[in-house]
Amino acid sequence: MTSRWRLLFTEPLDGIDNMALDHALLARAARTGECVLRVYSWASPTVSFGRHQRTAGTYDHIALAVVRRPTGGRAVLHAREATYSVTAPVTRPLRATYAGINSLLLDALRRLGVDAALAHATSSPPPDAAPCFETATEGEIVVGGRKLAGSAQWRNGGALLQHGSILIDDDQSLLGPSTTPPATLRAALGRAPTVHEIADALFDAARATLDPDATPLVLDPEVCADVEKFRALYADEGWTWRA
């Protein structure tokens, strides 16, 4: 990849703002041709649903904040984790893009001292299957065969958004009984790294493998205006609750 990369760390936001900002960064990628690696977290524990998941009648009982992502995949509880997003122009096929970003995650995790690997091929689960961290799909990050990071993607208007969660601790059981608990950074490292520490590892990996001149991104008025515009979508009950 020879694209120009920018790096962005954001303080904890609620689900609506987190999704609106990722959406605005996708629009920025389409507009500028630049790629952005963002690392973020959540102001309170939040369940995010996949774009096509049925939620009404299934998740109504959850007493946590909820938001629907623009990306595919299944439900994720965002609590003790570091979340990343990559926004970029579409230059490669879907699986090649996943492979490239997963390699970045793997590099960053190894910098933290985690003995992580890429999962082997499995069939792709439908959006209404079990929660996201139950199964790893091909190329996702696993430790000891259990999923540590889950990712999903959206392609629109010549740009892509891929975002995902790297678990520091396991809170996924709050979504329901789990047959295969995920891996966590705490278990892998014997301690819980901070989101800042994980962000530094990701940014170091990006500078080492993608763009040695990657610089911090300062949000410009156009991105901020887009965030305001997209907030309305992610706050819409009709978008979130789908039968």
Partner 1 sequence: MTASNIPTDLLYTRDHEYVRIGADGVAEIGITDFAQGELGDIVFVELPAAGTAVSAHAQFGTVEAVKAVSELNSPVTGEVVLVNPRLDKEPALINNDPYGDGWMIRVRLADAKARDGLLSPQAYATQIGG
Rounded least distance, CB 61 to partner 1, Å: 24
- 132: annotated active-site residue: yes
The kind and range of the H/E element at 77 are: strand 76-78
**For partner 1, the closer CB: 72 or 181:** 72
Nearest-angstrom CA–CA distance, 196 and 68: 25
Cβ atoms of 151 and 164 within 8 Å: the answer is yes
* Per-residue x/- track, 199-228, partner 1 (CB under 8 A): ------------------------------
Q: Which of 40, 59, 98, 234 binds partner 1 (CB under 8 A)?
A: 98
Nearest-angstrom CA–CA distance, 166 and 80: 9
User: Where does the chain show beta strands of DSSP type E?
Assistant: 5-9, 35-40, 46-49, 65-68, 76-78, 81-89, 117-118, 141-143, 146-156, 159-167, 215-216
Q: Which of 93, 190, 212, 216 binds partner 1 (CB under 8 A)?
A: 93
> Candidates 72-80, 101-109, 195-203, 205-213 — which segment interacts with partner 1 by CB under 8 A?
72-80
Token pair 């996201």 is found at: 132
Q: Which residues pair with 117 in a beta bridge?
A: 142
The reply to whether 41 sits near partner 1 by the rule CB under 8 A is no
Token pair 């763009």 is found at: 211
**For partner 1, the closer CB: 52 or 196:** 52
**For partner 1, the closer CB: 73 or 193:** 73
Binding site for partner 1 (CB under 8 A): 50-52, 70-74, 93-95, 98, 123-127, 137-138, 151-157
